Amino acid sequence: MTSRTCLSVILAAGEGTRMKSALPKVLHPIARLPIVAHVAKAVHSAGGSDIALVVGRGADAVRDAVKSVVSNVTVHEQKERLGTAHAVLAARDAIARGYDDILVVFGDTPLIETAALDQARARLADGADVVVMGFRPANPAGYGRLVEKNGKLIAIREDKDASESEKKIGFCNGGLMALRGAGALQLLDKVTNANAKGEYYLTDVVEIGNAMGKSVVAIEIAVDSVIGINTRVELAEAEAIWQTRRRRAMMLAGVSIQAPETVFFAHDTLVEADVSLEPNIVFGQGVSIASGAVIHSFSYLEGARIGPKAEVGPFARLRPGADLAEKAKVGNFVEVKNAKIGMGAKVGHLTYLGDATVGAGTNIGAGTITCNYDGYNKALTEIGAGTFIGSNTSLVAPLSVGDNAYVASGSVITQNVPADALAFGRAHQVVKEGRAVELRARYAAQKNAKKAE
Enumerate the active-site residues.
Answer: 349
Q: In sequence order, what are the residues at sequence separation of 6 or more whose Cβ sits closer than 8 angstroms to the Cβ of residue 50?
A: 5, 6, 7, 8, 72, 74, 94, 99
Distance CA 86, CA 92 (A): 10
Going along 278-343, which residue ranges are E strands? 281-283, 288-289, 294-295, 299-301, 305-306, 311-312, 317-318, 323-324, 329-341
Task: State the binding site for Mg(2+).
Answer: 108, 230
Q: What DSSP letter does each residue of 119-140 carry, written as one string?
A: HHHHHHHTT-SEEEEEE--S--
Cα distance between residue 113 and residue 152, in whole Å = 24
CA–CA separation, 239 and 126 (whole Å)? 35
User: d(Cα 146, Cα 203) in Å, to the nearest integer?
Assistant: 10
Q: Degrees (nearest 5) of the Cα angle 148, 151, 153?
A: 40
Closest by CA to 70, choosing from 48, 95, 94, is 48
Give 278: exposed, middle or buried? Use CB within 10 Å, 0-12, 13-18, 19+.
buried
Residues belonging to the binding site for UDP-N-acetyl-alpha-D-glucosamine are 11-14, 25, 78, 83-84, 144, 158, 173, 230, 319, 337, 352, 363
Binding residues: 11-14, 25, 78, 83-84, 108, 144, 158, 173, 230, 319, 337, 352, 363, 366, 372-373, 391, 409, 426
In degrees and rounded to multiples of 5, residue 358 shows phi and psi of -125, 125
DSSP string, 15-29: --GGG--SS-GGGSE
Is the Cβ–Cβ distance between 4 and 121 less than 8 Å?
yes
**Pairing between β-strand 329-341 and β-strand 323-324 as defined by DSSP bridges:** parallel
Distance CA 377, CA 284 (A): 26
Q: In sequence order, what E strands does 384-427 have?
A: 388-389, 394-396, 399-401, 406-407, 412-413, 422-423
